[in-house]
Structure 1
Amino acid sequence: MRMESKFSFLINLLVLQYLAVVCVSQDFDFFYFVQQWPGSYCDSAKSSCCYPTTGKPAADFGIHGLWPNYNDGSYPQNCDSGNPFDEPKISDLIGNMRKNWPTLACPSGSGETFWSHEWEKHGTCSESVLDQHGYFETTLGLKQQTKLLQALKTAGINPDGSTYSLENIKDAIKEGTGYTPWIECNRDSSGNSQLYQVYLCLDNSGSGLIECPVFPRGGKCGPEIEFPSF
């Protein structure tokens, strides 16, 4: 009897520990939805660029990820090692992902390594509201909703290597999306600041864009930045 009680106690303890981990992993305040300009990724002194095995992506913003965050600027990561990326779960989305969520990392790949990283580091921390299919489907939908390149071109801001006002870029994106973006810059091989990534925010239910509670640190831009071609 004592052995049975001890065994029961251990089982209950393990269950409580598991639930505690799950609760912590699913506790976050909002998402960053991050899109990346491929011309800036490839024209950076700090990163090498390889086109996907499926060919050169379109000259459009590509998805980087959908990242759960806390209002204090920190974020959870790698929340559930027991739920790895499983491509068959998103088989109906693969064509869309290759087009809108391409990898530019070297060596060339088809995207699975990139998507796996995004799901396992960030997506597993949002399982309380988005399962694996929902995570990728929601992110793809956000790209179609925001149409960053269209918003910029409407304002006369084109990816032709010209220099534009950072404030004009922000205003154009806010006009197009309805929300204030945060712009991350990187530097080209000549040291010039260039438009690299655009952050918008999503509520923690995954249901709609919101004004960002806090903006990221680092990657700050000067008042004038380049918008390189791709």
Structure 2
Amino acid sequence: MRSPSLLSLALLLLAAVVCNAQDFDFFYFVLQWPGSYCDTRQSCCYPTSGKPPADFGIHGLWPNYNDGSYPSNCDPDSPFDESKISDLIGRMRTNWPTLACPSNDGVKFWGHEWEKHGTCAESILDEHSYFQTALNLKNQLNLLQTLQNAGIEPDGGYYSLSSIKEAIKEGTGYTPFIECNVDESRNSQLYQVYFCVDTSGSQLIECPVFPRGRCDSRIEFPAF
């Protein structure tokens, strides 16, 4: 077998660099309502640190492409290292809690988010910056207060989907995508809210594309 030429090796190296380039077009920043996560047939488990606050929690900060596809698991050589976010753990437990069963401390959830999504933005945000950026975005949006300012309360009542979108657009300046799930009675409920963020992670933008999904015209905002 002929040995590869220097040119062939150079082309292979260039291809590897291109394949590993962590380019993407924007982030989805996704906030989740814990009352809707728990109000399903599957139910939920509170983390070992106790019941989270009755507030939207972070689900993730996800690199995305303008065509709706997304990169994932971009760097297997960059596993999650809890020690790198040791100064953020208190904020993470409050703002990025896990509700998965069995009850746990959230480290597995955070590790999944970093390894699947965060490593695809690693050239821009290292592990600490990735989590800190998401925490700062949540504070900036203050989503629950925005809804409450419009009279939309997590009290088990039903609100029109359009009024929820309008309240968020009015309060944040940006159009959200609303994802619904269903409770045990198959009622549609406010589950997750998607915002779009530029590739630096610092600036909210209008979404180039929304995920697929639908909600009823009136949806429940369950208590937690």
Measured against the shorter chain, the TM-score band is over 0.9
Describe the superposition over 1:18-61 as per-residue Cα deviations: whole angstroms up to 9, x where unpaired.
412321xx11110000000000000012x330000000000000
Distance 2:73 2:128 in 1: 17
Matched, 1:85 2:77: no
SS at match of 2:14: helix
Alignment correspondent of 1:224: 218
Find the counterpart in structure 1 of residue 164 from structure 2.
169
The residue aligned with 2:39 is 43
Distance in 1, Cα, partners of 2:4 & 2:219: 65
State the alpha-carbon separation in 2 of the partners of residues 87 and 146 from structure 1.
26
Report the Cα distance in structure 2 between the residues aligned to 1:18 and 1:90, rounded to whole angstroms.
30
Aligned to 1:102: 97
Secondary structure of the structure 2 residue equivalent to 1:175: helix
Q: What one-letter code is carried by the residue in structure 2 that aligns with 1:180?
A: T
Secondary structure in structure 2 of the residue aligned to 1:198: strand
**Aligned counterpart, 1:153:** 148
Residue 174 of structure 1 deviates from its aligned partner by 1.1
Please state if 1:19 is matched with 2:25: no
Q: Is 1:70 matched with 2:65?
A: yes
Cα distance in 2 between the residues matched to 1:40 and 1:72 = 29
Name the counterpart of 1:124: 119
1:32 equivalent to 2:24? Answer no
Find the aligned partners of 2:6 and 2:107 in 1 and give their Cα distance.
42
What is the distance in 1 between the residues matched to 2:93 and 2:9?
44
The TM-score normalised by the length of structure 2 is 0.94
Question: Which runs of 5 or more structure 2 residues have no equivalent in the other structure?
Answer: none
- Could you say if the C-alpha distance between residues 17 and 173 of structure 1 is closer, same or farther in structure 2, counting changes exceeding 3 Å? same
CA distance in 2, matches of 1:99, 1:202: 22
**SS in structure 2 opposite 1:115?**
helix
Measure, in 2, the Cα distance between the counterparts of 1:89 and 1:14. Answer: 33
User: Which amino acid counterpart does residue 17 of structure 2 have in structure 1?
Assistant: L
Alignment of structure 1 residues 162-201 onto 2, 5 Å:
162-201=157-196
CA distance, structure 1, for counterparts of residue 171 and residue 219 of structure 2: 20
Shift of 1:207: 2.1
Letter aligned with residue 30 of structure 1: F
Structure 1 runs not aligned, ≥5 long: none
CA RMSD of aligned residues (A): 1.8
- Partner of 2:54: helix, strand, or coil? coil
Q: What TM-score, normalized to structure 1? A: 0.92
Aligned residues: 223
Superposed CA offset, 1:132-183 (max 9, x none): 1111000000000001100010100000000001111111111111101100
- Give the drift of 1:98: 0.5
Query: Deviation of residue 204 (structure 1)?
Result: 1.4
Cα drift, residue 129 of structure 1: 1.2
